[in-house]
A and B are shown apart, each in its own frame.
Chain A
Amino acid sequence: MSDETVNVEGAVCAPPLPHNEQIVMGHGAGGRMTHKLIQNSFLPAFNNPALRAGDDAAALEPKPGVQLSISTDAHVVLPLFFPGGDIGRLAVCGTVNDVAMLGATPLYLTAGFILEEGLSIETLRRVVESMQAAALEANVQIVAGDTKVVQKGKADGLYITTAGVGLVRPGLKIGGAQAKPGDVVILSGSIGDHGIAVLGARGELGFESSIQSDVAPLNHLIDAMLNASNHIHVLRDPTRGGLGTTLNEIASQSNVGIVLNEQAIPVHPEVNAACEMLGFDPLYIANEGKLIAIVAHEDADAVLKAMHQTHYGEEAVAIGEVAAEPHGRVLMKTAIGSQRVVDMLAGEMLPRIC
């Protein structure tokens, strides 16, 4: 090895790859690439205040005193059935939760089915029954639907799109932009279960796991919380992109800082072990039955107490607080007593080499 072979001043690198010309998988990961896609491809065309608010559901007031919460969600998952749930339960819960996150009572859902040629009717029956069971649990009705069939190989069995509408409780103003310095950040339970359960069901973990998806309707939990406090400022379910991405969205919408306590964030040991082995971070793994609540400091205990009395809020815990600064950023006090930034997920989450 001679000195001149080391290119010390040498600058190196390929030009950036913006992926502006075609869709790549990262555009669907729920992180920054998804945000940019929405900003660049959807918002300019569908420009209106409800959409620009950037929440999981749109808050609309068709006439004075009547506040609607409307949302829609497309569901693609492989395999269709996984430990703890299936695409049908996911499709109902996803929309119920998005509608409820504005402090609304979800009432009606619609469902669009894209079915692949060759799908067994028995599979469809199981999915539909699961949807009905989830709808019963959430106390919503599926009142309209549509069915399309595509050729073999053009879909992974079936895709489901649901839309939902609900009535917002009078006097509430809940949304991602409402977090205030001093508020407490509450998480309803452990993170990462859904994402790891689906990976396991795909056989991608390379080992057996007992992890179950957390997919669940959260509207009854939210009811209990709203009964306990009038000072819930933000409700959000950390689905794709995970807790880290969702908190970044809130910090940015509210123009506040969020400071987390790493040791307070509940992660099941099996999920932690899977993440350690594969090089994933639980902060970015999808959840389908968890919510983040940002609550006025003086009401935090009452809200937590109310959550603990519900099935889906038994593990609820305060994980941090809202600070005035740094604007739009999430920080975390690490287990060893240091501090770091928690960034938004960039594109697709990729397993590490070693």
Chain B
Amino acid sequence: MKYVTEYRDATLVKGVIDEIRRTVTRPWTMMEICGGQTHAIVRHGLDQLLPPEIDLVHGPGCPVCVTPLELIDKALAIASRPDVIFCSYGDMLRVPGSGRDLFSVKAQGGDVRVVYSPLDAVALAQQNPDKQVVFFAIGFETTAPPNVMSVLQAQRLGLKNYSILVSHVRVPPAIHAILSSPENRVQGFLLAGHVCAVMGYWEYPALAKKFNIPMVVTGFEPLDIANGILQTVQLLEANKVEVGNAYSRTVTLEGNQPAQKTIQKVFMECDRKWRGIGMIPMSGWCLRPEFDEFNAEKRFHVEEIKAEESPLCIAGQILQGLKKPHQCTAFGTICNPEHPLGATMVSSEGACAAYYKYGRIEMKDSVAS
């Protein structure tokens, strides 16, 4: 496939890996912040080709994994209402709330629908004036533009039966939290290419400087990721603290300015709980008060629903890059993709799901190739 196959070329990837091998002189620990990158790394087996000096740790960049339990419970409450059509990106359906998931709600008669875009939900609201249509607006900066556009579109159409349940998170505060932890061992960051396609990377030099850590904007194909790792290693070896861009075919320093302005018009920064991590101040986006009529939490009075996460798995430590999935005793035994203990196992972008799906044997049985 054009523009994909080229970036999966074995010879080109091997060339970059060889360059990493030639450049690296000592062990380095780096984090790919995005779950999409985690999946690409394990799906293509890129981690196995890297020299042993490079330790990749998986970041909290799966929006499905980090959506707080409390918000899932709110989603379940809203989706259970007979007057509601509840729309969600597909992989949220499997995330467990307190005792139930959206699949269960659907099986009990709730009208839960998988949509590919929030604008599909707006269209459903137009087609079903006697129903309340709610979209589960989760995601990092990447999905914020379509999610806010759906609100603006509903406003333009004068729809009174459309609202969104917002659980947006932002990357820079998460990086700040990880680097602030006394247990942090991350020495370099691969920044999430798609997030930066929207936001640019102007927010990151200050972070890099504050924590004295290089960062490189990185794409999602094997060649992109290998290049991101190479640039990070080059910066680390040269002791340079810079923010590089190894995904320049998509990402500019400024990012998509109209998209950023539209996000600011509808969303404002707010505190957000991250599942498995806890509260990170000002790490989320919520609807501005002037868009209250589109706020599903207010429309359905679910603001009071509270839920505490129970101490069963180590998803939190995995999301922060402190542990790898196979270091969890539950991994692959009592916790697997059908019966996930933790959100990292649930989403296709979650680190545990990636490991389970693509890498289980190499870790557990050390099978020779």
Give the interface of A toward B (CB within 8 A): 1-3, 5-19, 22-26, 32-33, 36, 204, 206, 269, 272-273, 276, 278-279, 325-326, 329, 331, 333-343, 346-348, 350-354
Q: Does B294 contact A (CB under 8 A)?
A: no
Report the minimal beta-carbon distance from B196 to chain A, rounded to whole angstroms. 13
Cα distance, A91 to B96, chains bound together (Å): 36
Cα distance, A348 to B335, chains bound together (Å): 17
Q: Which residues from chain A contact B116 at a C-beta distance below 8 Å? A: 204, 206, 278, 351
Cα distance, A7 to B98, chains bound together (Å): 20
Cα distance, A18 to B359, chains bound together (Å): 23
Contact between B45 and A6, CB atoms less than 8 A apart: no
Cα distance, A273 to B117, chains bound together (Å): 18
Cα distance, A204 to B116, chains bound together (Å): 8
Contact between A353 and B64, CB atoms less than 8 A apart: yes
Q: Does B63 contact A (CB under 8 A)?
A: yes
If A6-B320, A336-B10, A353-B138 touch, whether A1 touches B176 (CB-CB below 8 Å) is yes
Binds A, one of B51-59, B234-242, B308-316: B308-316
Binds A, one of B19-27, B79-87, B99-107, B296-304: B99-107
B residues contacting the other copy or chain, number (CB 8 A): 95
Report the minimal beta-carbon distance from B39 to chain A, rounded to whole angstroms. 9
Contact between B90 and A272, CB atoms less than 8 A apart: no
If A13-B341, A15-B312, A335-B44 touch, whether A350 touches B94 (CB-CB below 8 Å) is yes
Contact between A11 and B180, CB atoms less than 8 A apart: no
Cα distance, A5 to B173, chains bound together (Å): 12
Contact between B320 and A351, CB atoms less than 8 A apart: no
Q: A15-B310, A16-B341, A346-B337 are in contact. List 17 more A-B contacts (CB 8 A).
A: A1-B177, A2-B180, A10-B311, A12-B342, A13-B96, A13-B276, A13-B312, A14-B96, A14-B99, A17-B339, A22-B108, A25-B106, A326-B361, A341-B360, A346-B336, A350-B91, A353-B92
Q: Does B334 contact A (CB under 8 A)?
A: yes
Q: Does B129 contact A (CB under 8 A)?
A: no
Q: Does B281 contact A (CB under 8 A)?
A: yes
Q: Which residues from chain B contact A22 at a C-beta distance below 8 Å? A: 104, 107-108
Q: Which residues from chain A contact B13 at a C-beta distance below 8 Å? A: 336-337
Find A3's partner among B8, B108, B180, B348 (CB 8 Å cutoff). Answer: B180
Cα distance, A354 to B143, chains bound together (Å): 7
Contact between A269 and B1, CB atoms less than 8 A apart: yes
Report the minimal beta-carbon distance from A210 to chain B, rounded to whole angstroms. 15
Q: Does B275 contact A (CB under 8 A)?
A: yes
Q: Which residues from chain B contact A350 at a C-beta distance below 8 Å? A: 90-91, 93-94, 114, 348
Contact between B358 and A341, CB atoms less than 8 A apart: yes
Report the minimal beta-carbon distance from B305 to chain A, rounded to whole angstroms. 14
Contact between B310 and A13, CB atoms less than 8 A apart: yes
Q: Does B338 contact A (CB under 8 A)?
A: yes
Report the minimal beta-carbon distance from A340 to chain B, rounded to whole angstroms. 4
Q: Does B343 contact A (CB under 8 A)?
A: yes
Report the minimal beta-carbon distance from A26 to chain B, rounded to whole angstroms. 7
Cα distance, A341 to B46, chains bound together (Å): 13
Find A5's partner among B101, B279, B338, B359 (CB 8 Å cutoff). Answer: B279
Contact between B89 and A351, CB atoms less than 8 A apart: yes
Q: Which residues from chain A contact B312 at a C-beta distance below 8 Å? A: 11-15
Find B309's partner among A3, A13, A32, A204 (CB 8 Å cutoff). Answer: A13
Q: Does B317 contact A (CB under 8 A)?
A: yes
Q: Does B267 contact A (CB under 8 A)?
A: no
Taken residue by residue from 329 to 357, chain B's Cβ proximity to chain A (1 for < 8 Å, 0 otherwise) reads as 00000111111111100011100000011
Contact between B96 and A16, CB atoms less than 8 A apart: yes
Cα distance, A9 to B182, chains bound together (Å): 12
A to B CB contacts below 8 Å, 12 in the list? A11-B314, A14-B309, A16-B334, A32-B337, A276-B1, A278-B116, A279-B348, A331-B361, A331-B369, A335-B44, A338-B45, A354-B142
Q: Does B124 contact A (CB under 8 A)?
A: no
If A12-B276, A346-B337, A353-B91 touch, whether A340 touches B317 (CB-CB below 8 Å) is no
B170-207: which residues lie under 8 A (CB-CB) from chain A? Answer: 173, 176-178, 180-183, 194
Q: Does B214 contact A (CB under 8 A)?
A: no
Cα distance, A204 to B335, chains bound together (Å): 31
Report the minimal beta-carbon distance from A248 to chain B, rounded to whole angstroms. 12
Contact between A335 and B8, CB atoms less than 8 A apart: yes
Contact between A325 and B367, CB atoms less than 8 A apart: yes
Contact between A12 and B275, CB atoms less than 8 A apart: yes
If A1-B180, A16-B335, A24-B103 touch, whether A351 touches B361 (CB-CB below 8 Å) is no
Cα distance, A1 to B173, chains bound together (Å): 8
Q: Which residues from chain B contact A10 at a C-beta distance below 8 Å? A: 276-278, 311, 316
In this complex, which of B8, B96, B357 has the most chain A Cβ atoms within 10 angstroms of its Cβ? B357
- Closest B residue to A275 using CB positions: B1
Q: Does B219 contact A (CB under 8 A)?
A: no
Q: Which residues from chain B contact A2 at a C-beta distance below 8 Å? A: 180
Contact between B104 and A5, CB atoms less than 8 A apart: no
Cα distance, A26 to B280, chains bound together (Å): 34
Find A11's partner among B46, B316, B369 (CB 8 Å cutoff). Answer: B316
Find B4's partner among A206, A276, A346 (CB 8 Å cutoff). Answer: A276
Contact between A352 and B348, CB atoms less than 8 A apart: yes
Cα distance, A5 to B139, chains bound together (Å): 22
Q: Which residues from chain A contact B337 at a C-beta distance below 8 Å? A: 32, 346-347
If A326-B361, A354-B142 touch, whether A339 touches B91 (CB-CB below 8 Å) is no
Q: Which residues from chain A contact B194 at a C-beta distance below 8 Å? A: 354
Find A334's partner among B44, B72, B279 (CB 8 Å cutoff). Answer: B44
- Closest A residue to B108 using CB positions: A22
Contact between B356 and A13, CB atoms less than 8 A apart: no
- Closest A residue to B43 using CB positions: A340
Q: Which residues from chain B contact A353 at a C-beta distance below 8 Å? A: 63-64, 89-92, 138-139, 143, 347, 349
Contact between A17 and B335, CB atoms less than 8 A apart: no
Taken residue by residue from 101 to 143, chain B's Cβ proximity to chain A (1 for < 8 Å, 0 otherwise) reads as 1011011100000101100000000000000000000111011
Q: Which residues from chain A contact B339 at a C-beta distance below 8 Å? A: 16-18
Cα distance, A350 to B347, chains bound together (Å): 9
- Closest B residue to A16 using CB positions: B339
Report the minimal beta-carbon distance from B188 to chain A, rounded to whole angstroms. 19
Cα distance, A353 to B92, chains bound together (Å): 8
Q: Which residues from chain B contact A273 at a C-beta distance below 8 Å? A: 1
Find A19's partner among B89, B103, B180 (CB 8 Å cutoff). Answer: B103
Q: Which residues from chain B contact A8 at a C-beta distance below 8 Å? A: 181-183, 316-317, 320, 322
Find A206's partner among B93, B117, B177, B181 (CB 8 Å cutoff). Answer: B117
Contact between A13 and B343, CB atoms less than 8 A apart: yes
Cα distance, A265 to B279, chains bound together (Å): 45
